[in-house]
Chains A and B, each alone.
Chain A
Amino acid sequence: MRLSITHTTTYSYDRPVSYALLQLRLTPRNGAGQKVISWQSSVSGASPQVQYEDHFRNVTELVQMDPEGTTITILSQGEVEVENLNGVIGAGTGLAPLWLFKRPTAATKPGNTIRKLASSVKEAFAADPLDGMHKLSDAVSKAVRYTTGSTNVTTSAEEAAKAGVGVCQDQAHVMIAAARHLGAPARYVSGYLLMDGLNQQEATHGWCEIWIMGLGWVGFDVANEICPDDRYVRVALGRDYGEAAPVHGLRQGDAEEELYVSVQVQQ
Chain B
Amino acid sequence: MVERKFFDEMGPDEAQVRAPYAEYANWFEGEDPRSLLKKSAEAETFFRRVGITFNVYGQKEAQERLIPFDIVPRIIAAQEWRQLEKGIEQRVRALNAFLADIYNKQEILRAGRLPEHIIAQNEAFLPQMMGMTPPGGVYTHIVGTDLVRTGENEFYVLEDNARTPSGVSYMLENRETMLRMFPELFTRMKVKPVSSYPAELRRSLSACAPPNFDGDKPSLAVLTPGIHNSAYFEHSFLADQMGAELVEASDLKVIDGRVQMRTTRGYRQLDVVYRRVDDEFLDPLSFNPDSLLGVPGIMDVYRAGNITIANAPGTGIADDKALYSYMPDIVEFYTGEKAILKNVPTWRCSEGDSLKYVLDNLSDLVVKEVHGSGGYGMLVGPAASKKELADFEAKLRSNPDNYVAQPTLALSTVPIMTKKGLAPRHVDLRPYVLVSPGRVHITPGGLTRVALKEGSLVVNSSQGGGTKDTWVLGD
Residues of A within 8 A of B (CB): 19, 21, 23, 47-57, 60, 62, 64, 94-97, 99-100, 102-103, 239, 248-250
CB atoms of B105 and A95 under 8 A apart? yes
Chain B residue, CB-CB nearest to A100: B127
Q: How far is the CB of A127 from chain B (nearest CB, A)?
A: 26
Known: A50-B306, A52-B303. A95 touches B284 (CB 8 A): no
A52 touches B300 (CB 8 A): yes
Interface string of B280-309 (1 = CB under 8 A from A): 000011000100000011001101111000
Q: CB-CB < 8 A to B119: which residues of A? A: 99
- Give 17 A-B contacts (CB < 8 Å), ordered by A residue: A21-B285, A21-B297, A23-B285, A23-B300, A49-B257, A49-B297, A55-B129, A60-B303, A62-B300, A62-B301, A64-B254, A64-B297, A95-B105, A95-B106, A95-B131, A96-B130, A250-B284
What separation, in Å, do the CA atoms of A240 and B296 have in the docked complex? 20
Q: Decide: B131 and A55 in contact? CB cutoff 8 A.
A: yes
B131 contacts A62, CB within 8 Å?
no
Residues of chain B whose beta carbon lies under 8 Å from any beta carbon of chain A: 104-106, 109, 116, 119-121, 127-132, 253-257, 284-285, 289, 296-297, 300-301, 303-306
CA distance A100 to B255 in the complex (A): 33
Which residue of chain A has its CB nearest to the CB of B109?
A97
Tell me, in angstroms, the Cα distance from A173 to B131 when the chains sit together.
25
B129: chain A residues within 8 A (beta carbon): 55
The complex places the Cα of A57 from the Cα of B104 at a distance, in Å, of: 13
- Smallest Cβ-Cβ distance to B125: which chain A residue: A100
Bound CA span A99–B116, Å: 8
Contact partner of B297 (CB less than 8 A), chosen from A62, A95, A102, is A62
Q: Interface on chain B toward A: helix, strand, loop, or mixed SS?
A: loop
Given A62-B254, A96-B130, A250-B285, A50–B116 Cβ distance below 8 Å? no
Are B128 and A55 in contact (CB-based, < 8 A)? yes
CA distance A48 to B284 in the complex (A): 19
Count chain A CB atoms within 10 A of each CB in B285, B289, B306 and give the residue with the most.
Answer: B285
Q: Beyond A21-B285, A50-B303, A55-B130, list 15 extra A-B contacts (CB 8 Å).
A: A19-B253, A21-B254, A47-B256, A50-B300, A52-B304, A54-B128, A56-B130, A62-B300, A96-B130, A99-B120, A100-B120, A100-B127, A102-B120, A250-B285, A250-B289
Contact among B121, B255, B256, B303 with A54 in the assembled complex (CB-CB below 8 Å)? B303
Q: Is the CB of A49 within 8 A of B127?
A: no
In the complex, what distance in Å separates the CA atom of A50 from the CA atom of B257?
Answer: 5
Chain A residues near B257: list those with CB within 8 A: 48-50, 62
Once the chains are docked, how many angstroms separate the CA of A51 from the CA of B303? 9
How far is it, in angstroms, between the C-alpha of A54 and the C-alpha of B132 when the chains are bound?
A: 9
Instruction: Specify the chain A residue showing the minimal Cβ separation from B212.
Output: A50
B300, closest chain A residue (CB):
A62
Residue B301 contacts which of A50, A53, A54, A57 (CB distance < 8 angstroms)?
A50
**Residues of chain B with a CB closer than 8 A to A23's CB:** 285, 300
Task: Say yes or no: A248 contacts B285, CB within 8 Å.
Answer: yes
Contact of A250 among B296, B304, B306 (CB under 8 A): B296
Contact B254 A49 (CB under 8 A): yes
Distance between Cα atoms of A99 and B297 in the complex (Å): 27
The residue on B at minimum CB distance from A249 is B285
Q: Which residues of B contact A52 (CB under 8 A)?
A: 300, 303-305
Find out whether the CB atom of B254 lies under 8 angstroms from the CB atom of A55.
no
Residues on A with beta carbons closer than 8 Å to the beta carbon of B254: 21, 49, 62, 64
Q: How far is the CB of A153 from chain B (nearest CB, A)?
A: 12
Give complex CA distance A51, B297 in Å: 12
Shortest beta-carbon distance from A104 to chain B in Å: 12
In the bound complex, CA of A50 to CA of B300 (Å): 7
Minimum distance in angstroms from B320 CB to a CB of chain A: 16
Closest A residue to B103 by CB, please name it.
A95
A126 to B104, CA, bound (A): 32
A60 to B128, CA, bound (A): 13
* Shortest beta-carbon distance from A149 to chain B in Å: 24
Identify the closest chain B residue to A61 (Cβ). B300
Q: Which residue of A lies closest to B289 (CB)?
A: A250
Q: Which residues of A contact B300 (CB under 8 A)?
A: 23, 49-50, 52, 60, 62
A249 to B109, CA, bound (A): 35
Q: Which of A19, A21, A50, A99 contacts B304 (CB 8 A)?
A: A50
B130, B256, B296: which contacts A95 (Cβ < 8 A)? B130
**Bound CA span A19–B255, Å:** 11
Instruction: Look across to chain A and name the residue whose beta carbon is closest to the beta carbon of B286.
Output: A23
CA distance A94 to B106 in the complex (A): 12
Known A99-B120, A102-B120, A250-B289: A49·B130 in contact at CB below 8 Å: no
Question: For residue B106, which residues in chain A have a CB less than 8 angstroms away from its CB?
Answer: 95, 97
- Beta-carbon contact of B120 and A94 below 8 Å: no
CB pair A57–B131 under 8 Å, yes or no, is yes
**B residues less than 8 Å from A49 (CB atoms):** 254, 256-257, 297, 300-301
Q: Which 3 A-B pairs have the closest CB atoms?
A: A50-B304, A99-B120, A55-B130
Q: Chain B nearest CB: distance from A105 CB in Å?
A: 10
CA distance A232 to B376 in the complex (A): 53
Contact A103 B301 (CB under 8 A): no
Q: How far is the CB of A24 from chain B (nearest CB, A)?
A: 10
Complex Cα distance A64/B267, Å?
16
**Most B-side CB within 10 Å, residue of A48, A51, A57, A64:** A64
Residue of B at shortest CB range from A243? B127
A103 to B256, CA, bound (A): 36
Partner of B120, one of A21, A53, A103, A249: A103
Max chain B C-beta neighbours (<10 A), residue from A19, A50, A54, A56: A50
Residue in contact with B131 in the complex, picked from A19, A94, A102, A239, CB distance below 8 Å: A94
- Say how far B59's CB is from chain A's closest CB, in angstroms: 32
Beta-carbon nearest neighbor of B116 in chain A? A99
| B267 smallest CB distance to A (angstroms) | 12
A20 to chain B, nearest CB (A): 9
Once the chains are docked, how many angstroms separate the CA of A54 from the CA of B286?
11
CB distance from B398 to the nearest CB of A (A): 21
Q: List the A residue with the shortest CB-CB distance to B106.
A: A97
Residues of A near B297 (CB, < 8 A) are 21, 49, 62, 64
Measured CA separation A64–B256 after assembly (Å): 9
Residues of A within 8 Å of B128, CB to CB, are 54-55
B305 cross-chain contacts in A, Cβ below 8 A: 52
Expressed in whole angstroms, the Cα–Cα distance for A99 and B254 within the complex equals 33
